Amino acid sequence: MIEVKNLSKKYGSFLAVDDVSFSIEKGEIVGFLGPNGAGKSTIMNIITGYLSFTKGSVTVDGIDIIDNPEAAKRRIGYLPEIPPLYMDMKVKEYLYFIYDLKKVKFPKAAHISEIMKLVKIDNVENRLIKNLSKGYRQRVGFAGALVGNPDVLILDEPTVGLDPKQIIEIRELISKLGRNHTIILSSHILSEIQAVCKRVIIINKGQMIADDTPENLAQKLSYDNSLNARIICDEKDMIKALSSVEGVMSVTSLGKAEDKAYEFNIIPKENTDVRAAVFSKIKESGKTLLSFSSNAVSLEQIFLRLTEAADNDEARRLLGTDDLTEENKESEEDNYDSDFQA
């Protein structure tokens, strides 16, 4: 549905997007995750046809954004970081205006009314936009993106500045829309992406440094994928027993955790899930298990670690996504400046 190939963008001499390639299938909800300044908005602006680029190509539903911008744009609903709302317009009036602007063919009143109901702004249709709360304004922006019923929705930080209740509402709306739209959603907030996306593209310093499911990203950092168990037992016997479990790499006692119980840290071999086997072993030993927890890294921890990495090569190594760069090795060695056209 969306095909981005070797995309680069320079602002003056500053390389804001650096050889980014990915493709998104119809019906996917993909999260763009990255710190502020990573290049998320720039990429989204390019895909939506609002910003030129320096190198590469972008197609939407097979249509090249440069060759046929009108047709490509018709397939995309865009909610920019700051939705371009006209404060002195009333909600319905604004959506009618967008309808005309997009030259939509559906029956006007019915189409706009349906959208207003969907994003729950039908109760404020005759209110001036300037008198609406931030949450309502964001939904009006959302409604604007939905006018014309585009297949693709590009949502740039759709929950920024909203309160927790509004965030949940917008999230639910995105999940609902995800049933029959292809969605790209950007955020620098991890829980947000984790809540609605099955696939995450991590952007850092203009480059794509990962493209995976949140779960796989966590698993790739498998050295952190350890388990902790608190057991009433003999310390040495238990280390021996747990070490004998298939797939366990090492067992360390963290010492006495409470009165009679020891806390153990169990590190599995790479890409191995030993939870069931470890649990069976403890059960078999007849000892009392007080707690058992998985230290699987959260997206939050991954993200922090990545952004603290010295450069994107180190970040990719941490993620085990070095392979992402392999095919681009040659071009990376080139001198970029000499490559670029205006």
Task: Phi first, then psi: give them for residue 328, nearest 5 degrees.
Answer: -100, 0
| Per-residue contact string for residues 76-115; x = within reach of ligand ADP by CB under 6 A | ----------------------------------------
x/- contact string, 14-33, with ligand ADP (CB under 6 A)?
x-x-----------------
Q: Which of 10, 31, 34, 41 binds Mg ion (CB under 5 A)?
A: 41
Closest approach of Cβ 204 to Mg ion, in Å?
13
Among 34, 77, 178, 214, binds ligand ADP (CB under 6 A): 34
Contact string (CB under 6 A) for ligand ADP, positions 38-77, x = contact = xxxxx-----------------------------------
Contact partner, 225, from ligand ADP, Mg ion, none, Cβ < 5-8 Å per class? none
Strands 199-204 and 182-187: unpaired
Choose from Mg ion, ligand ADP, none: what does 223 bind? Cβ within 5-8 Å by kind: none
- 157 in the Ramachandran plot: left (φ > 0), alpha (ψ -120 to 50) or beta? left
Name the residue type at position 155.
L
Q: Which CB atom, from 46 or from 129, has the smaller least distance to ligand ADP?
A: 46
- Chain-centroid distance of CA 91 in Å reads 30
Spatial separation of the C-alpha atoms in residues 245 and 281, rounded to whole Å: 7
Q: What whole-number distance in Å separates Cα of residue 49 and Cα of residue 73?
A: 7
Please give the Cα distance from 59 to 46 (Å, whole number). Answer: 11
Whole-angstrom Cα distance, residue 237 to residue 137? 63
The minimum distance between CB 34 and ligand ADP, in angstroms, equals 5
What gap in Å lies between CA 179 and CA 185, rounded to an integer? 15
- Shortest spacing between CB 154 and ligand ADP, in angstroms: 12
Contact between 45 and Mg ion per CB under 5 A: no
Stretch that binds Mg ion, among 33-41, 231-239, 271-279, 295-303 (CB under 5 A): 33-41
From residue 1, alpha-carbon distances to 29, 63, 68, 181 in Å are: 12, 9, 15, 11
- The residue among 156 and 169 lying less far from ligand ADP, judged by its C-beta, is 156
The β-bridge partners of 185 are 31, 155
Give the span between the Cα atoms of 104 and 147, in whole angstroms.
8
Task: Provide the 8-state DSSP code for 109.
Answer: H
Nearer to Mg ion, 187 or 321 (CB): 187
Residue 161 binds to ligand ADP (criterion: CB under 6 A): no
CB of 88 to Mg ion, least distance (A): 27
- Say how far residue 100 (Cα) sits from the centre of its chain: 32
Shortest separation between residue 176's beta carbon and ligand ADP, angstroms: 25
Q: Give yes or no for residue 37 binding ligand ADP (CB under 6 A).
A: yes
CB 231 within 8 A of CB 238: yes
- Residue 240 and residue 282 in contact, taking contact as beta carbons nearer than 8 Å: no
> Residues in contact with Mg ion, total (CB under 5 A)?
2
What is the total count of residues that contact ligand ADP (CB under 6 A)?
11
Can you give the binding site for ligand ADP, defined by CB under 6 A? 11, 14, 16, 34, 36-42
Can you give the binding site for Mg ion, defined by CB under 5 A? 40-41
